[in-house]
Chains A and B, each alone.
Chain A
Amino acid sequence: MRHSAFFLKPEEKEKNAAMVEWTEQERSIITNIFGNLDYEDVGSKALSRCLIVYPWTQRYFASFGNLYNAEAIKTNPNIAAHGTKVLHGLDRAVKNMDNIKATYAELSVLHSEKLHVDPDNFKLLADCLTIVIAAKLGSAFSPEIQAVPLKSAACATGEELWPLFMCVTSFQMKK
C-alpha cells in the first residue's frame, strides 16, 4: 500500500511504517553491506564523525569524557565503544527487516523518554554513517546502492532517511 507521503496522517504513517516491503534485491544489498562491515571500526568512525561535523550533537555525550577537539573525539574510548553499540543496534534491524518497528520499540522509548534525543539527530548520524561506508567502499557504493533504503523508506514512512532503521526509532516519540 503506497501513498504519496505528503498527505498521510501521523497514524497512517505509523501503520505504513510497519508495512515496508523490501524486494529481494534490496534485502540482499542491505545484508551484504552490513555483513561486510567491521562494526567496531565503522561504528566508532561514524559516531566520532557526527560529533565533529555536527558539534551540537555533543550535548548528549557530556559524561563521555574529553570531546574538546577532533583528535580527542577520535581517540575517546567511550565514544568508540558507543559507536560500536549503535552499529550492533542497527544490526538487529538488519536481522529483522520485516519487523523493525517491534524490534526497536524498547530502544525507541529509551531514546525518547530517558535520553531525550531530538529525532533530527538520527538523520545526522545516518548521514555520517553513509559517508563512512562510502569512504570504505569507494565506487562500489553506487548511486543505486545508496538509494536503496531511501526508496523503501520514502514510500512507507514519508521520511527520507538512510538507513530507514534510524527514522523508525523516532516513531515511538510521545506527542
Chain B
Amino acid sequence: MLSKKEKQLIREIWERLTPVAEDIGADALLRMFASYPGTKTYFSHLDIGPGSAHLSSHGKKIVLAIAEGAKDISQLTVTLAPLQTLHAYQLRIDPTNFKLLSHCLLVTLACFMGEGFTPEAHAAIDKFLSAFAAVLAEKYR
C-alpha cells in the first residue's frame, strides 16, 4: 500500500536515477551475480563481466523500465503489459529472482545516495519494487 507522498518520493528518486541508469543498473546486476551466482544462468548468452557493454546496456534497460513504471504507479499493469508478455512467454525467469534483484537495487541505491537513502525512501521503494515484480509475473500462469 503506497501513500500519495510515497508515490511522489518514488517518482522523484527514479527521475534522478534516469541519467545514471547505466551505472545503477550495471552495479545492481553485478551485486546480484556476486551474491546469488544462480542468477548468472539467465545470462549465458551475454558477457556480464564488470565494465562489459552488455552489462551496461542491460542494466540501463532494466532501470529505465522501472523508472517508466514509477511515473504513474497506478498504471503499472498497463505500462508493463509488453514486459509481462516478454517475461512470461520468452524469458521465463523464475520470479523468486525478482526479489534478489530488488534487494541488490536497494543496496546500490544505498551506496549511491548514502544518508539520503532514508528509511522512508527505503520502505517506499521496497514496496514499489515488490509491486513491480508482482505485476511482471502476472502472466506466468
Contacts and interface: CB of A to CB of B under 8 A. Distances in A.
A and B from one complex: yes
Contacts of B31: 143, 146-147
A30 interface: no
B117 A131 contact: yes
Interface residues on B, range: 20 to 34
Contact of B107 (A53, A131, A144, A160): A131
B114 interface: yes
B120 A147 contact: no
Interface in A131-162: 131-132, 134-139, 141, 143-144, 146-147, 150, 160, 162
Contacts of B122: 49, 52-53, 131
B57 interface: no
B103 interface: yes
B112 to A, nearest CB: 8
Contact of A135 (B30, B35, B36, B115): B115
A109 B114 CA distance: 36
B103 A127 contact: yes
Given A70-B120, A74-B119, A135 B34 contact: no
Contacts of A108: none
B91 interface: no
Contacts of B117: 131, 135
Nearest to A71: B120
A53 B113 contact: no
B123 interface: yes
A17 to B, nearest CB: 19
Q: Say whether chain B's binding surface is mostly helix, strand, loop, or mixed.
A: helix
Given A146-B31, A160-B36, A162-B35, A52 B120 contact: yes
A11 to B, nearest CB: 25
B5 to A, nearest CB: 11
Nearest to A140: B111
A162 B35 CA distance: 9
Interface of A: 48-49, 52-53, 70, 74, 127, 130-132, 134-139, 141, 143-144, 146-147, 150, 160, 162
25 contacts: A48-B119, A52-B120, A70-B119, A127-B103, A127-B106, A131-B110, A132-B110, A134-B110, A134-B111, A135-B111, A135-B113, A135-B115, A136-B114, A138-B111, A138-B112, A138-B114, A141-B111, A143-B34, A146-B31, A146-B107, A147-B31, A147-B34, A150-B36, A160-B35, A160-B36
